[in-house]
Structure 1
Amino acid sequence: MATEVKVPTLGESVTEATVGQWLKKPGEAVKADEPIASLETDKVAIEVPSPVSGVLGELLVKEGDTVNVGAVIATIEDGGAPAAKAASAAPAPAKAEAAPAPAATPAPAAPAPAAAPAAESESASGPITLSPAVRRLVLEHGLDPSRITGTGKDGRLTKDDVLAAIAAGTAVAAAPAGASPAASAAPASGPSREQERVKMTRLRQTVARRLKEAQNNAAILTTFNDVDMTAVIEARAKYKDLFEKKHGIRLGFMGFFVKAACMALKDIPGVNAQIEGDEIVYNNFCDISVAVSAPNGLMVPVIRNAESMSIAEIEKTIADFGKRAKEGSLSMADMAGGTFTISNGGVFGSLLSTPIINPPQSGVLGLHRIEERPVVRNGQIVARPMMYLALSYDHRLIDGREAVTFLVAMKNAIEDPTRLLIDL
């Protein structure tokens, strides 16, 4: 008896998805609720769980196919059915094993050595399932994914794992298929001019479309300021152990910036507003979108009512988003809405950038790396840990004066964190 696997409900107004990856192969045993496939929608990757325990049967769609909600994509056979099917599907090997006994000749033994390497290769590569983003990164750098430790769900390889291995110099180049060690070590005869075409994921297509729409529809302008991080760094160093002991989470920098942004948005409500037709919608709450890294790229989940949260609650929410992003379990509900975005390019080493707003929002704050630079304090040139802040905004709604005032409010709050406690 076969059980159908159907595309689950994908969220409000989402009717179709793309099959990103099959996580199981036909004939493999699966447990109830174990993920067997990954679907990509316009916003997130969603795993399709097996409805029952059994063995994965026929795959009715291929990776890259577009499927609608409710469509049948595979079948799950009960535990006994696949064994019989497997036996009937491969009668030739059974006869080959039986043939040598009466003939008592060594001839049938010849295929065995040839079959062994193939089985070895299949078993070695079988457990490694790569998302499209990871597969593309591995191919671009010619790496052996089996030599990189995965930290994702069920030990899967994430984009961060590959990037970390490349940065640490521990990534091992993959040998060409069928090549001997001597051939692998031989230098290339000349520069390669090979090309590879990889279809854009549905998520990347949506990101590209929305960013282009933002450039076409909004009058985007960016203004900058810098902030002295000395006070925040000292506060973090002084209280990080007590903070972690009490709240069970590390004290980072994002909690300070989210809290400071909420205060600045309260003072400059236009940055927290949006244009709808010929009306301006002012939001009396702060739903802060924060960019987090995921295997399929950057995701932007939303911290709801961040203005009413403590720094500890903000840090816990961001940590939870980061964990779920790596596991691929962020939902579309997590990313819906948002009134203002904070993007931290500093974690990747960015010194300066001009971020693009996320429509229908009207502002995005870009954070950058912290580095010591010479500044003048009390007439003396001293080295201080400085960070550039960049605010990109829709000039149709926000004037330059408001944008600069917003950044100055951010600067004052970060350079004197006491302001965050007394709402000043």
Structure 2
Amino acid sequence: MALQQVTVPDIGDYKEVDVIEVNVSVGDEVKEEDSLITLETDKASMEVPAPFDGVVKEILVKEGDKVSEGSVILQVETATKQAQGTNSAPLDETKEISADKSTSQASYEVTVPDIGDYKDVDVIELNVSVGDEVKEEDSLATLETDKASMEIPSPKDGKVTAIAIKVGDKVSQGSLVLTLAVNGADASHMTTQEALPKVEEIKLPEAKVEQPVAVAESQVIDNTKAHASPAVRRLARILGVDLSRVSASGRKGRITKEDCESYIKKAVTQVQSGQVGGAGAGLDLLPDPVVDFAKFGEIETESLSRINKLSAKNLARNWVKIPHVTFYDDADITDLEAFRKAKKAYAEKQGVKITPLSFLIKAAASALQHYPRFNSSLSNDGESLIIKKY
């Protein structure tokens, strides 16, 4: 038996990173790659996996501590002496298919990292081609979810040897993006998908819920900026919990496992008591008229992105439900009026009358030419814009 120290591996350029979760206790048996603690930088959460099997003998950090690369986080008793530095691998969210120090290069599979609760996310852009040399953190591809676009960075320097996706494909966490040829020394670092702790069973009131439960619409929780550790996101996916509806009680507005459990228990109680009901019903809106805009002039049809489609539905709903505000502003038209009066005599000879409205129409027409989306309509199926060129 040997007592081994577990230290924080390579976490990039970050220092003094917050410990937001400790996933083990003294006496726990851990397997290689089990999650030990969760760290949080300014941009993401990451988990420190166990570098070997063993029993936790001492925990040297707690929630709220700050650690850097090389900081000792706990002591593990192992059956056989492990090589020091086994856990110095960087926390890349990719996995390696072959890495041999004796070879000059190795193939390295880059997969989609943790993208939260999203699945089947659209690939809207490929930023590299086969044969390209890429540096660590270079953008490889761009994904688009319901709410935002995100880029997949390269975890290492290397050369692109194969691309497994194309624009229009749908990917999820763990989907293969491309393969890199990297130096053997770089590839020898053990890398892995995020190691996630086991999800503890949650005892709920006896109730049969056929679908993932939802909190009553009357209780609106604005939690769009809340964040959670990978372990909590995994728990939420298993339980069917929409994290945007969960009230956060953790540090810095972070959602905890307890928050998810409380949300589920409350939702089940509401289902049992029949409190869950819809909101916004009863508007009795008329169906959209079908208009052939082409009969008025030239048009062009432009497909909407996924974000545009979702935004359109929400904006259309809010347009009929939210009170409107009218905005007034002043404009100095001294020069315009002087010009209009100077042309007054000429206009009378032509039998016409020039009013300020003429200039407003001219300004509006020029603005619509410059910003064509303002001169467009949404198609009846909501899938595209009809841009009018008249």
Both structures adopt the same fold (TM-score exceeding 0.5): no
The answer to which structure has the higher helix fraction is 1
TM (norm. structure 1) is 0.29
TM (norm. structure 2) is 0.31
The structure whose RCO (Cα within 8 Å, separation 6+) is larger is 1
